[in-house]
Every structure is written in structure tokens, then in C-alpha cells.
Structure 1
Amino acid sequence: MTRARNDYGDDLSLAHVLADAADGISMARFRALDLRVESKPDLTPVTDADKAVEESIRSSLSRARPRDSVLGEEFGESESAVWRGNRQWIVDPIDGTANFVRGVPVWATLIALFAGGQPVVGLVSAPALGRRWWAATGHGAYAGRNVTHASKIRVSGVSRLADASFCYSSLGGWEQRGKLDGMLSLMRHSWRSRAYGDFYGYMLLAEGALDTMVEPELSLWDVAALIPIVTEAGGTFTDLTGAPAPGNGSAVATNGALHADVLDALGDA
């Protein structure tokens, strides 16, 4: 039988294999006394673990998917394949490098596949938390320690800001964007607000543990793997204009019922 054109189950299985190898590399360097840390031109940290994880994923993809291109945070776009809007893997080897450097266990490897310009596979592996999240278009969203110890996840049914748990990464970026008043208003009108940051807020949203997650500025590798997980869990993921993410580098992710309220407060429409 010919595999359906939009069946990305094999790609999702490959993403798990890639993540297994990545977890072994990153955990061996987590809290290592000889961890090497440098500053990139944008002054964000990068470690030898970031580079080793991305190199491992790229090497495996070159063998398993030689016709696909790869875009990674540390090494840019692969030269071995020219992406023409068909298939491209997007990799953030360690999302939350600052946490990784300081010994905080909230960091993860993010692996995504874009097909035809759309995110169709997403996997987030947080080995220091002992947890992984994944989704593929039409396959639903799941979370657990691994494939054999996992359950399907779903966003919450909260429909009022007064009952909602509102999540964000930090306030500085919103102030620079001139939207601090909108952020503070959302925080005041929500049941509670917390700043979990990076991938973690989006995964808690997909699990139904909180109801909104917003960030003013993101790179493609920061968000690519998160979109399929949130949307397959029943959520809505756009940029600040309300256009489908990844859009203009901002992110508004909600359980769907609260999306209009959040865009009204923060949106660029």
C-alpha cells in the first residue's frame, strides 16, 4: 500500500530516534564541570552541548533523509540540499541554553519538519525533566517519558480570562514593543499569571495545565516544533497580527477560546 501523502508517522518516528541520541549527548554535558560556554554575536550563550547535539541530528538526517534540507540555530541552513518549499527540518539543539548553563533542568531539544512551508511534525524532548511532547498533522498530540509511556494531550476548556492561567516569557520584550500596558492588563484580568518561558509554557498549554502563552520575539527554530503540538492538542497558534505562526516572529498560543481576547489586548492587527 502506498503511504498517504500527508501521513508523517515515519517522520515522527525518526524525530524520536534523533531526540534519543540528542538526549544522550545533552544529559552527559548537563552540569558538567568542564562545560564550554561562549557568547554568540547576539550575546546569547552557546555551549559545546548545543553544537554537539545539532551536529548529531544533522549527521543522522543526512543519512535518513538525504533529500531534505536542515535549518539549525547553530549552523544555519544545510548546503547539501536546497529547500524549495518542500521538506525542511528545523532544529533548536538546546532551547533554554541559559537554563542549561545554570543547572536549571527546564531546557529541551526541539525538532520540527516543515512540508510545503507548513509545520507538520513537532517534537520537544526535555530529558532533565524526564518528559517529551510530540505531534504530527493528523496524528494528535502526546506527552510522556517516551512513546511507550505516553498519553494523548488536550488544551483546556477555559473560556474566560477571569478563570485563565496566563503565561509569558518576560516583560522586557513587551515593553520594547510598546505593549507593556496590554500585558499588564491581561495579567490583572487573568486568574493567575506565571513566566515559565521558552518551550515549557507552550507544552503546559498543550496539556491543558495553563491557557495562554505569549512571546513578542522568536526565531523560527524557537517555535517550529511547538506549533504542531499546540494545534494538534486543539489549541490556536498565531503571531500578533493573528496570522498563522510562525508569521512575523511573535507568538500567541491559546486554548482557542481565549485567542480573540489575547489578540485584542496585544495584537498588531
Structure 2
Amino acid sequence: MSGAVPTPDRTLLEAIERLAHEAGQVILSVYRRDIEVTLKTDRTPLTEADLRANEVILAGLARLTPQTPVLSEESVERFDGVGPGGTYWLVDPLDGTREFIRRNDEFTVNIALIHQGAPVLGVVVAPALGVSYLAARGLGAFKVEGEGGAWQPIRCRGFDPARGYRVLGSRSHQDPRLTSWLAALGKHRLTPLGSSLKACLIAEGQADVYPRFGPTSLWDTAAAQAVVEEAGGVIVDQAGAALGYHTPAERLNPSFFVWSKRAREHFCA
């Protein structure tokens, strides 16, 4: 695992799962006491948990793959560009900081391996919920209950027109374009949820679509995208192209949609 280009195999996926759980335990240690919040220059919240989890992940990735650069939300200044073969780690040490502050448990640790612009391995751990989602290219996607639990294969499910679309929406970010899009969608049920859990629920067949209008960053989507794609779903922009990570200097995503395959086929028919 210490070679120039990490191989997205089961051994690496297991190591990243353990590392994400380690970061999750640090986050929970802060979650159980009073939370002090500061604001970053972009006015987004920052806590001790973000910073401590970031250091755990950076140290762990340096041990596992010392030659592979890391782009993390909480240490962007340390990133010097992609590594050999167009490979780098993309990390959000605490996705859903607002949910963390509100203590609703809907926050995650996100770690993705990017190779030639695509997420080829992803781990999403929700430490307060005791659930994880894992995937690597060619291995499939998995859900894990608890730390050290069995890997349960997951797939996006078929779409039932009679039931309508099961839509997930952001709990903390609202956009008027969502209202217009939902009005044109047809029969649906909207459920709000925080962090990258929304994409992961589509991957395990619990929802059909997550439309996201407005800015997000690369580290918000990459790990969950690996899971969704291995589970048979897609994350695409408004033109239908998969979200890409070729140019990490451009850190904002366009508006996008997370779809199960059958639901998208029905929508586009």
C-alpha cells in the first residue's frame, strides 16, 4: 500500500475503513461535551472535531500511502497537486458540521481515492449512527453496521411509479430551484437529511433521487460517489455528465443529481 499509486483493493479499503472509524471516535469524543464553534473565512462553521479528525486522517494516510497527496477541506494549503498517475486522496473529515453542532447525528467522515479524475475508492462513516458505507472499483458497495461488522453488499433498487419518487433533500441548505424541480417531478415524497448520508441511502435502495442545487465542494461528494456508482447508481450534473475530479484547484461542484438507475431511466423517458 505504500507504492506510488495505491491499488483500490480490499486491503486498502479495509485500512481506510479503520482509519475513518478512528477519526469518528475522535469526533464523538468532542460530540459528547460542549461544542465550541468558530467561523471560517467563507462563514462556514468549524469545530475542534473537524480539526482533530483531520489530523488523524492525514497521519493515517501518510503511513499508508506516503507518496499520495491529500486534499482535505481542513488543510487545503497542504495540497501541492495530484500525485503519480493522477492520483490523490480527497477528504472531508467531518461532513455535516451543522448537523454535528445541532446534535442530530447526521454527520459523516468521508475519504475517497481519486484516480484520473474519478473516485475509485470511497468510505463514508457515520459515527453517531454506527453505520458505514464502503466501495472500491470492481469490488462492489457495502454497508457495515457498527465498527468491525460484516460487509453487507448493497445495490440501488428498482423504481415503483405507483409509489412515486423517494426524494432526499438537504436539511441545512435550501434553494428555490428545488421547489420548481420537485413541482415538475410528479408524485414524490421529500425527506430531509444531512451530509453524504443522502447519497448512501440511494446506494442501499432506501431512496430514488437526491437533487442538489447550489454549491458543494469536491470533498462533499467523492466518497459517496464511489459508493453510489458501485451500487449501480449515478451522480451527474444537469447535462447528465458524471461529476469529475480532474481539476482539484476548481473545488466547487456544479448542481447535481444522485439517482438510482431505474428512477433516472423513468425520469428521462
The reply to whether TM is greater than 0.5 is: yes
How far 1:149 sits from its partner (Å)?
2.6
Q: Name the CA distance, whole Å, in 2 between partners of 1:72 and 1:7.
A: 19
Closer, same or farther: CA 181–148 of 1 in aligned 2, 3 Å: closer
- Structure 2: tracts of 5 or more residues without a match: 246-252
Letter in 2 for 1:257: R
Deviations 1:159-208 (A, max 9, x none): 53852211221696542xx564223332xx13312122321211111111
1:249 is aligned to 254
Which of 217, 220, 234 is the equivalent residue of 2:218?
220
SS at match of 2:43: coil
Q: Give me the identity figure in percent.
A: 31
SS at match of 1:198: coil
Letter in 1 for 2:198: G
Q: Do the aligned residues in 1 keep the contact of 2:67 with 2:83 (CA within 8 Å)?
A: no
Aligned length: 257
Q: CA RMSD in A?
A: 2.6
1:163 is aligned to 164
How far 1:79 sits from its partner (Å)?
4.6
SS at match of 1:154: coil
Q: Name the CA distance, whole Å, in 1 between partners of 2:183 and 2:194.
A: 17
SS at match of 2:28: helix
How far 1:22 sits from its partner (Å)?
0.3
SS at match of 1:214: strand
Deviations 1:128-170 (A, max 9, x none): 0011111000111111224533311111101538522112216
- Structure 1: tracts of 5 or more residues without a match: 265-269
Q: Name the CA distance, whole Å, in 2 between partners of 1:85 and 1:23.
A: 30
2:248 is aligned to none
Q: Name the CA distance, whole Å, in 1 between partners of 2:212 and 2:9.
A: 28
1:13 is aligned to 14
Q: Do the aligned residues in 1 keep the contact of 2:106 with 2:193 (CA within 8 Å)?
A: no
Residue 183, structure 1, aligned to residue 182, structure 2: yes
2:113 is aligned to 113
**Taking structure 2 as the reference length, what is the TM-score of the superposition?**
0.86
Q: Name the CA distance, whole Å, in 2 between partners of 1:250 and 1:227.
A: 14
**Taking structure 1 as the reference length, what is the TM-score of the superposition?**
0.86
Which of 200, 203, 221 is the equivalent residue of 1:203?
200
Q: Do the aligned residues in 1 keep the contact of 2:131 with 2:143 (CA within 8 Å)?
A: yes
Letter in 2 for 1:11: L
SS at match of 2:94: strand
Closer, same or farther: CA 173–234 of 1 in aligned 2, 3 Å: same
1:267 is aligned to none
Structure 1 residue runs of 4 or more that deviate by more than 4 Å after TM superposition: 79-82, 170-173, 260-264
- Correspondences of 1:20-169 after superposition (within 5 Å): 20-33=21-34, 35-76=35-76, 78-79=78-79, 82-83=82-83, 86-144=86-144, 145-160=146-161, 163-169=164-170
Q: Do the aligned residues in 1 keep the contact of 2:21 with 2:147 (CA within 8 Å)?
A: no
Q: Do the aligned residues in 2 keep the contact of 1:18 with 1:60 (CA within 8 Å)?
A: yes
Residue 259, structure 1, aligned to residue 267, structure 2: no
Closer, same or farther: CA 161–119 of 1 in aligned 2, 3 Å: farther
